[in-house]
A and B are shown apart, each in its own frame.
Chain A
């Protein structure tokens, strides 16, 4: 067969035919893979949620929250009636190559349960380490050289895990005065990641069911605080007395600076946080409240950035 001559009609005809054929092929292939692509994106989402909220049989309620003109999707998890945690999908645009999308799981008290990186375009081998770096350090299998020659190189220790971290204000890398070790040679990626986590926490503070309740507690009345106190061991008559005590102090607590020592517990099932208020100081009068020795067992405490107590459960006060 001889080659077609390059005249106008031939050229237009052939190019059009090729383009139409290509378009047909592509559209056919697109409709073939469309559902598959959607499905794999959805699967990734579900896998990420179940990774960051490790509860069995949790019911998820998704919700869209707007914060600083940005939309976030959150998933509140309930086991039965109980609220057990929130997964927040958050992102940061300040990565080394743009967008970093993460899913962060929070326990009701603001502790980070786990995280998953949904999308990132960081440098392979450097910034991409964020997928593991901020989780507790794993036992690394010894390298071939070590196994063959039978010696062991001491692994570098790092303090970079944010899993199990009790959020109190923003996380930052050590270079910026924070407490988290940045990924070696990928500080910008680390910053972007922590930014995403921080905004996830802001969204969590704004939108989780318990936080909304807490805000109510703080603004409305002490009566609500009573409700949430666990008074199992207190007799009914005493409870009333206890509450009045409570009333006085709690009012002050809200205005005062409280130093709170929290020890994040090891795993999620244990007590959320154990703390002790060491000193209650009334800033209005600028004096330590006398006659009141505080020996408090705080089961769940929520502290804002300036370490002001917003709300806490189960407090016992001893009056001298």
Chain B
């Protein structure tokens, strides 16, 4: 049990894919124009991560080493397609806003990275926990980034108006704002990290 908690926290905080490892930057920068978009993308990735981690840890022994990457990609792509169909059918609104980014989860380095680094070496329970931790860490990072961009850009968080829209800095909704906000967030995270390590 304590192992599971450790694995979860490792993915969620210590090796947070967005803030520490800087993996999956494309969806991180692309979908975080609002908090809700960032969160949906994070949760979609979490779903794929858990499913693919479990599936890959189950088949790890029957997959010969030389074809493991194509096998893993097929598994991941299958889950992404399932997710895409499900979202299209049951959550058309979110499907439309995330659009192109859902198929791109296939090539998100976090998913293949966790498959290679964790699921291929551990049992399926721990792999599921690892997928959950990493996925939620990614979702959390995207939500924070999305909230900051939405707040600074449009004066809203999750669609709730915090200050009048005309004082928003439009740049934060656009691509440059994504880089600036992410850079500042990573700086803050590094600062906290170095402080806690010194103590």
Contacts and interface: CB of A to CB of B under 8 A. Distances in A.
Given A6-B64, A140-B161, A156-B166, A29 B82 contact: yes
Contacts of A2: 61
B85 interface: yes
A144 B75 CA distance: 46
B162 interface: yes
Contacts of A140: 161, 165
Contacts of A144: 160-163
Given A14-B62, A40-B89, A185-B170, A143 B155 contact: yes
A4 B160 CA distance: 55
A5 B65 CA distance: 8
Contacts of A14: 62-64, 67, 71
Contacts of A155: 164, 166
B28 to A, nearest CB: 15
B163 A126 contact: no
Contacts of A6: 64-67
B34 A4 contact: no
Contacts of B78: 22, 25-26
Interface string A120-139: 01011110000000000000
Say whether chain B's binding surface is mostly helix, strand, loop, or mixed.
helix
B59 A124 contact: no
Contacts of A119: 96
A133 to B, nearest CB: 12
Interface residues of B, number: 44
A18 B59 contact: yes
Contact of A3 (B65, B81, B160): B65
Interface of B: 33-34, 37, 59-67, 70-71, 74-75, 77-78, 81-82, 85-86, 88-90, 92, 96-97, 99, 150, 153-155, 160-167, 170, 173-174
Nearest to B150: A125
Contacts of B82: 25-26, 29
A281 B174 CA distance: 55
Contact of A121 (B59, B65, B99, B170): B99
**Which of the listed residues B75, B89, B92, B163 has the most CB atoms from chain A within 10 Å of its own CB?**
B89
A146 B64 CA distance: 63
Contacts of B34: 124-125
B161 A22 contact: no
Interface residues of A, number: 42
A11 B64 contact: yes
A37 interface: yes
A18 B155 contact: no
Interface string A251-281: 0000000000000000000000000000000
A14 B160 CA distance: 51
B62 A44 contact: no
Contacts of A30: 85
A124 B64 contact: no
Given A25-B78, A125-B34, A4 B63 contact: yes
A3 B94 CA distance: 41
Given A30-B85, A123-B173, A125-B34, A145 B162 contact: yes
A126 to B, nearest CB: 7
A1 interface: yes
28 contacts: A3-B60, A3-B61, A3-B65, A4-B61, A4-B63, A14-B64, A14-B67, A15-B74, A18-B59, A22-B77, A25-B78, A26-B82, A29-B82, A33-B85, A33-B89, A33-B90, A36-B90, A40-B92, A123-B33, A124-B33, A124-B173, A125-B34, A143-B163, A144-B161, A145-B162, A153-B164, A155-B164, A156-B166
A5 B170 CA distance: 56
A125 B154 contact: yes
Nearest to A24: B78
A284 to B, nearest CB: 54
Contact of B173 (A33, A36, A125): A125
Given A1-B61, A11-B66, A33 B170 contact: no
A4 B64 contact: yes
Contacts of B65: 3, 6
A143 B164 contact: yes
Contacts of B150: 125
Contacts of B160: 144
